[in-house]
Amino acid sequence: MSIDKSQVKKVAKLSRISLDDKNLDSLSNDLALILKFVEQLNKLDTNNVKPLNSIVDKSLEPRKDQVNDGKIKEEILKNSPDKNEDFFIVPKVVE
């Protein structure tokens, strides 16, 4: 399996990353190299191996569904690049 430019374009779209043609070219080369490198794994037979999903040998502990933080609305909004009163502003999404 190798990756071509049109696939990189598609992955960039999925990743929501804009790429100009120059970056698309050089990143396509990088990605092809990296994928070739990781494909070494195909040399291994893993048919009977269970995938390792988590390194921690326990199921995640549920916590009580209660508020333990909050009332920092202003501090949170302070970091927003664009806001209006209590709202984050984004470009228009509905015509």
Partner 1 sequence: MSDLNKSTLTQITNLIKTKKISSLEVTKFFIKNIEKAKKLNTFITTCFEKSLKDAKNFDIKKNYNGLLPGIPLAVKDLFCTKNIKTTAGSKILENFIPAYESSVTNNLWLEGAIILGKLNCDEFAMGSSNETSYFGNVINPIGKNLVPGGSSGGSAGALAANLTPATIGTDTGGSIRQPASFTGTVGLKPTYGLCSRWGIVAFASSLDQAGPMTKNVEDCALLLEAMSGYDPKDSTSINKKKEQYSKNLNENIKGLKIGIPKEYRIDNMPKEIDNIWNKGIDILKKSGATIVNISLPHTNYALPTYYIVAPAEASSNLARYDGVKYGYRSKKGKNLTEMYENTRGEGFGREVKRRVLIGTYVLSSGYYDAYYLKAQKVRKLIKNDFDESFKKIDAILTPSTPSSAFKFGEKTNDPISMYLNDIFTVPVNLAGIPAISIPGGVDNKGYPMGLQLIAKALDEQKILNIALTMEKAINFKNSINRWWEN
Provide the binding-site residues for partner 1, judged by CB under 8 A: 1, 3, 7-8, 11-19, 23, 27, 30-31, 33-35, 37-42, 44, 46, 49-56, 60-61, 63, 69, 72, 75-76, 78-82, 88, 90-93
The least CB distance from residue 71 to partner 1, in Å, is 11
Residue burial 46-76, b: 16+ Cβ < 10 Å; e: rest: eeeeeeeeeeeeeeeeeeeeeeeeeeeeeee
Q: Indicate the residue among 52 and 67 with the shorter CB distance to partner 1.
A: 52
The least CB distance from residue 76 to partner 1, in Å, is 6
The least CB distance from residue 79 to partner 1, in Å, is 4
- Token pair, residue 39, equals 């494909």
**CA angle (32 as vertex; 26, 34 as ends), nearest 5:** 105
